Amino acid sequence: MKRIVILISGRGSNMEAIVKACAAEQWPARIAAVVSNRPEAKGLEFAAAHGIATAVVDHKQHTSREAFDAELARAIDAHAPDLVVLAGFMRILTPGFVEHYAGRMINIHPSLLPAFPGLHTHRRAIELGCKLAGATVHYVTAELDHGPIVVQAAVPVLPGDAEATLSQRVLVQEHRIYPMAVRWIVSDALDSRDGVIVHRGGEAQLVVG
Ligand code: GAR
């Protein structure tokens, strides 16, 4: 059984999708803990209600990124995770923290990376007249919102779209691709070939919504 620790900062809908899929599809894995940097994160309630251990490491209680990341790593490592899943975890991580979880930490970002790293991805896509938007699950490396891509979902940007409508359309696809990516990893379905992540069985690593 692989052990998964999920990090959230807020709503936690991607975490919810992963928790539900893990149970429904009987993955060879369990969600060992959900950790938040915000005590008020809504997702903590869902996790606790599902019998999952929760912890809060409040970034506001720490004077430096290094001190926060050290405390966060202690909270995570208490659960000896095989995989750390960033699910709407809105903190920039120190290089030491990223290195500690190299090859076993993934993130979901609401854009078709490498386009639009950082914040306000949907607003920026609309402002630039993009016709395609989406989300990316990737391994975490020291560079923000970069790293080997596990799976992407693409959706159209429709005439009249606002940030709210586009983000909702993308979020539906996030809830498809994030559980899929975690399932692939815990069932050892992925290979890295020259730094590119490939599904050994040839499953499509692109979802078109
Ligand atoms: C998701 O859209 C996720 O892609 C995004 O935050 C949202 C969290 O929603 N993540 C980032 O922007 C990370 N750079 P959730 O808490 O309901 O899963």
Please compute the mean of the pLDDT values over residues 110-123 and round it to a whole number: 98
Q: Which CATH number fits domain 109-209: 3.40.50.170, 3.40.50.970, 3.40.710.10, 1.10.10.10?
A: 3.40.50.170
Nearest CA to ligand 1 atom 8: 88
Residue to probe by mutation, ligand 1, list 6, 13, 92, 121, most atoms within 8 Å of CB: 13
Q: Could you give the percent of the chain with pLDDT greater than 70?
A: 100
Nearest CA to ligand 1 atom 14: 109
User: Which among 47, 147, 52, 44 is positioned nearest to 93, based on CA atoms?
Assistant: 147
Q: How far is the CA of 140 from the centre of ligand 1 (A)?
A: 15
Nearest CA to ligand 1 atom 3: 88
Query: What region does 103 belong to: left with phi over 0, alpha with psi -120 to 50, or beta?
Result: left
Domain boundaries, the chain: 1-101, 109-209
Active site residue 109: yes
Question: Looking at residue 25, what is its pLDDT?
Answer: 98
d(CA 172, CA 205): 16
Q: Which CATH number fits domain 1-101: 3.30.1440.10, 3.30.1200.10, 3.40.50.170, 3.90.420.10?
A: 3.40.50.170
Binned at pLDDT 50, 70 and 90, residue 16 comes out as very high
Mean pLDDT of the chain, nearest integer: 98
Which residues make Cβ contacts (< 8 Å) with residue 131, sequence separation at least 6?
156, 157
Binned at pLDDT 50, 70 and 90, residue 189 comes out as very high
- SS3 state of residue 14: helix
Question: Looking at residue 20, what is its pLDDT?
Answer: 98
Please compute the mean of the pLDDT values over residues 151-160 and round it to a whole number: 98
Question: Looking at residue 84, what is its pLDDT?
Answer: 99
Binned at pLDDT 50, 70 and 90, residue 107 comes out as very high
Question: Looking at residue 59, what is its pLDDT?
Answer: 97
- The residue type found at 203 is E
The predicted-structure confidence for 34-44, as pLDDT tens digits, reads as follows 999 999 999 99
| Shared fold status for 1-101 and 109-209 | yes
Q: Do 23 and 43 form a contact (C-beta atoms < 8 A)?
A: no
Instruction: Kindly tell me the number of DSSP H helices and DSSP E strands found in the chain.
Output: 6, 10
Q: To 5 degrees, how large is the angle CA 139–CA 142–CA 146?
A: 50
